[in-house]
Structures are given as structure tokens and as C-alpha cells.
Amino acid sequence: MQNEQQNTEKIAVSGFLIILGFLIILLRLWQLQILQGSEMRKASETNRLRIIGVPAPRGIIFDRNNLPLVKNAPYFCASVVPQEFNQNNISDLAQLFGIPVADLYDRITQKAASPFIPVRIKEGLTFSEVSYIEARRSDFPGLLIEVETSRDYIYGNVGSHLIGYLGKLNPRQSKDPSFRDVPSEAFIGQWGAEKLYDTTLRGTAGQRIIEVDAVGREIRLLEETPPVKGADIVLSIDIAVQKEAEKAFEGRAGAFVALRPETGEVLGLISSPSFDPNKFAKGISFDDWQALMEDKKLPMLNRAIQSQYPPGSTFKIMTALAALEERAVDTNTKFDCKGGLNYGKWRFGCWQKKGHGVISIHRALVESCDVFFYETGKRVGFDKVAEYAEKFGLGSETGVSLGNEKKGLIPSSLWKLQTKKTQWFLGETFINSIGQGYVSTTPIQLAVMMSAIANSGRVYRPTLLRNEPPTLVRTVNVRPETLEIVREALQGVVNEPGGTGGAARSIMTTVAGKTGTAQVVGIKKDSKYLAERFRDHAWFVSFAPVEHPEIALSVFVEHGGHGGSAAAPIAKKAIEAYLLPLDKKKELLSVQH
């Protein structure tokens, strides 16, 4: 019986211990499910929910004839999900992508934000790389190919300074609150129209809230906000003009700006040498970037708005216009050019050593006689010339919405007194009157000037969109007779025998223009035999057709030599391309680009 008693006691003790154990479990359940319940619920939600941004297709950029200039292109990236990745594969993977093992290891293990979020290991894969990797995916669990949208720039280099390019957010932009909505891996416009109209083109990224399993595989779509495609934009440029002009530069450094006189729309804008925007859109390599930045020819400089050079003889248009308008000269005024002009101990030469003889304003512009304009400048006074030049848009920003535009300089006696603390000398009137000396302009300013000459003195702000309402900056009050005289002379420059701009003569239309040569060094020699860096810069400004101007332009060729031989042919090509019917333009464009 004693034994019986003991046994019952032992069982009772066991029962007591077991009930105690149940109580402990009950307490633990209370702690997890009641006390920490909501916290744990949240943890289980974040476990399974992922918010994935869906990039919006970017708006397409068209030229003024609705020809697409860009295509959206997939941009492939290889990523690794650290949680799924087998560390034993790391050296094979590093070899596959040509990345140092230590670097890869660091990125997958040390720097990974979460074991479930893919870590980028290589961007901008080519199609062949993608297919190579796809074929080997099964060897590398956790390796995935992600796709983003980037751009294909159909015409490559052509007009790259204006069209611009896409790039990843730079460190400064990632901190900028205005880019808060942009996913960190996304491409945004970083240059040109792509940057300028980025918010329009960008669209609104969509969102997918998905349920995932422990290895991040998508299980179910819970909510989807589809992306809204960015709006297309129609640029004012004519890609045929761009392409023909670009080709005509033949790799020489320089700039080209074409405007529509009626509205100020930019029909073409080139800075040569240009760069390939596709390199940026494919994730430019450090070496390529370095090469672009260190290139002596400065491909990243937008010469069309940033180069400031003496306008040379193209400035004679302003001198002539000012003198006629101020009645300092008229069509009957004649000067005798003996190949130069002596003033005190100095001699101011004409480019034509043997002289032009007795010459009036028409032939003086046609043959670009320097002596005539020394005299004319002296008569009207350079301050008056400067006044007109400024009214026509020289010496100040044109206001085109491409960044970092330079002002150039139109000097005056006041300006000289303020900055140089000396008075203006007559010799300075002479050289500035023919566009040398202090006076300097940008290619786009000269295009604006020509546009205003073609359009009865109306100065427009150059605009980049086809449908943008024109912004009239001012109308310069010039008597129609004055304009008529100048325009006729400019027509003569191209079309009359002995005109300096004969190279721009076209059978398609009547071209008006003016050549210019900006001296690089004081000595005037036949620049053909000079080392290139001592050669003069060549200018040509033009509009056409003379009867009803549809295009006004300026061409600048750095160290090109004479404006007539280096710059005028480019203008002719651009004008002819612009005046072609659309189907002919397409034909032109279909030739290998």
C-alpha cells in the first residue's frame, strides 16, 4: 500500500509539472500573440509585401516633321538576390562578369541592404551578354536580369547637344527633393531637350504591390497602378537640316544654328565635334567619360551658345545698317579703297591688298571691303553701331533654354571707360566696325541677328518646341529701305560675281548671306598654309529664300580659314536640306546614319 501511495504521489508530481509546462507555454503565447501581436502582424506583412516601381515609358522626341529622333530601348542589368545566392558560386560569377571577387563579395554580403533586395552587379548588358547569362542562370540561383527603359538615339551624334541624353541620377540629384519621385536606378534627362523637358517626357511611374514568398518570388499581384507614359514632344528642329549640316562639318570644330525667322524656332543646332548620346544612355563607362572630358576638341562644350568669337565681317551688316539708318551713308556714298587706310602711325589694311577702288555700300558688302567700313564706322560712330547691334540681339543672351549661354560682347566708349578706364580710340572704331577687336558674339546670336534682318527687325527668343508660341523680344525700328539695301547686298554676296559667299549659291533657291573671318593672330597671311591652330575662324550668316525667308542661320568653323570657303558650303547644304519636300528628306535620312 505504501508503494501504491508513492506511485500516486509521483503521478501527481508529474501532472503538476506538466500543468506548469502548459502554463509557461500559455504565457509565451500570450506574450507573442497578445502583447506583441500587432508588431508581429506588421512584420508578417512586410515579410510578404513588396512595392515595385514600374518605370513609365518615356515620351518620344520628334522633329518638326514628326520624325522620331529617339526610341525607348530596354536597358539590361544583372542583379543578385543575396538570400538566394550560393556563396560557393561567387568566383564563377565574378569571372562571368569580369568583376574582382572581393568587390563582388563585398557588394553581395557587406553592402546589401537586405538579403531579399537584389543587388546590382552589372548594368548596361548587351543582348549577347544577356543571352549568355540566361543560358547559365540555372548555375547561379539568385541571379536575375532586370530591365529598365533607356534610349536609343536614332541619329547618334547628330544634334546631340540639342537632343541631349539620359543618365542616372547623380549624387547631387539624389539628394535634391525635386527628384524624390524618381527611383534611384532610373534614367532621367541629363542634357539638352531630354533634361529641359524631363518632367514632361518622364511620365508617372506605376507601382505594383506584390506578394512574395521567402525567396522573393512573385506570388500574387495585390494592387497595380499602371505607369502613365510620358508625353511626347515635338521639337522645332528639322533632323534633315541637322544631319546635312553635321555631315558638312566633316569633323571640323564649330557650330551651326538655324532659326525660323517668322517665329524664332530653332530649326537646327549643332556643336561640332559632338558626342554619342547612346554612350550615356547605355551607362557610360568611366574611361569613355574621361576621354570625353579630356578631349582637346571639347565635345561636351556647346559651341553654338558658348563659343564667343569676334564675328568678323558678318558684323559689317550691323555697321552698314546703323550707318544707313542714321543717314551717315546712303547708296551714293563712295569710298576709295587702296588696300588699306593710314591713321597716324598705324595702317589698317583691307583683306584685298590691291584695294577695291572706289566702292559704294552694296559692293562693299558683296566684296566685304574693310576700308569702306572703317570709313563708315568712323562716320556713324561705333557707339551707334553698338546700339543697333545690341538691339539685334548681339552681346546678350538670346534666352534659348539651353543652359549656360554666353553673352559675347558689344563694346562701346562707355563700356571701355568703365572696364579699361580709358577713352575710346578711333582705331578701335575701325577694327570693331569690321567685327574684330573687342566685339565678340556667339553663333546663336548671329543667327538671331540674321533672322531679324530677314524678318523686318523682329527679334525672337529662339525656342525649341514646334508648338511653342513665339516670344517676340523686341522689334527694331528700321526703315524698310534700309533693310532692303542690306538684304539686296546680302543677296549679292552669294549671287553676284566677286561676292565672297559664292559657295553658298544654290540652284534651289536664292540665298542671301555674309561671310566673316575672325582673326586668330594679328598677322594676316594666307591661312591655308598656317598651322591649324593659327588659322582664322570662318563665319557665314545667311537666310533664304530671299523673297520670303524661311530659314536664317549662322555657321562657325573654328580655325576654318575663310568664311566663304569653309562656312558657306555648310550653310548651302543646310538650306537645301530644309527646303526639300518631306519625302526627299526621308530619303536623305535613310542613307546610313
Partner 1 sequence: MFNIDRRLIRNFDWITFAVIIALSFMGILTIFSATRQPGEDPQAMFYMKQVVWLLISICALIIVVSFDYIWLARTALAFYITGILLLVFVLISGRTGMGAQRWISIGFFSFQPSEFFRLIFVIMLAGYYSSRRESLDTFALIRVFLIIVLLPFVLLFKQPDLGTAVVVLLLFAAISLAHGLHKKLLITLLFIGMVSLPFVSNILWTGLKDYQKNRLIAFIDPQVDPSGIGYHINQSKIAIGSGEFSGKGFLKGTQGPFRFLPEKHTDFIFAVYAEERGFLGSLFLLFLYLVLILRGLDTARKAKDEFGRLLALGIAFMFSIYFFVNIGMTLGIMPVVGIPLPFMSYGGTALLSNFISAGILINVRTRRFSLFY
| Residue 401, C-alpha cell as written in the block | 533654354
DSSP 530: S
Angle, in degrees to the nearest 10, between helices 443-454 and 480-495: 120
Rank residues 115 and 399 by Cβ distance to partner 1 and give the closer one.
Answer: 115
Closest contact distance (angstroms) between CB of 119 and partner 1 is: 14
Rank residues 9 and 250 by Cβ distance to partner 1 and give the closer one.
Answer: 9
Rank residues 32 and 521 by Cβ distance to partner 1 and give the closer one.
Answer: 32
Torsion of CA 383, 389, 394, 397, to 10 degrees: 80
Closest contact distance (angstroms) between CB of 221 and partner 1 is: 10
Closest contact distance (angstroms) between CB of 146 and partner 1 is: 22
Rank residues 116 and 348 by Cβ distance to partner 1 and give the closer one.
Answer: 116
Given the residues 150, 313, 412, 565, the one annotated as active site: 313
DSSP H or E segment with residue 363: helix 361-367
Place of cell 555697321: 319
DSSP bridge pairs for 268: 258
CB contact at 8 A, 317 and 449: yes
The angle at the Cα of 191, spanning 269 to 67, to the nearest 5 degrees, equals 55
Closest contact distance (angstroms) between CB of 585 and partner 1 is: 53
Please give the span between the terminal C-alpha atoms of the chain, in angstroms, as a whole number.
109
Rank residues 85 and 543 by Cβ distance to partner 1 and give the closer one.
Answer: 85
Closest contact distance (angstroms) between CB of 581 and partner 1 is: 57
Cα–Cα distance, 198 to 175 (Å, whole number): 18
Residues near partner 1 (CB under 8 A) are 6-8, 10-11, 14-15, 18-19, 21-22, 24-26, 28-30, 32-34, 36-41, 43-44, 47-48, 83, 115, 211-215, 219-220
DSSP letters spanning 191-215: SHHHHHTHHHHH-B-EEEEEEE-TT
Cα–Cα distance, 326 to 270 (Å, whole number): 36
Query: Is 313 designated active site?
Result: yes
CB contact at 8 A, 539 and 314: yes
| Residue 488, C-alpha cell as written in the block | 539686296
Rank residues 36 and 91 by Cβ distance to partner 1 and give the closer one.
Answer: 36
Closest contact distance (angstroms) between CB of 89 and partner 1 is: 17
The residues annotated with a catalytic role in the active site are 313
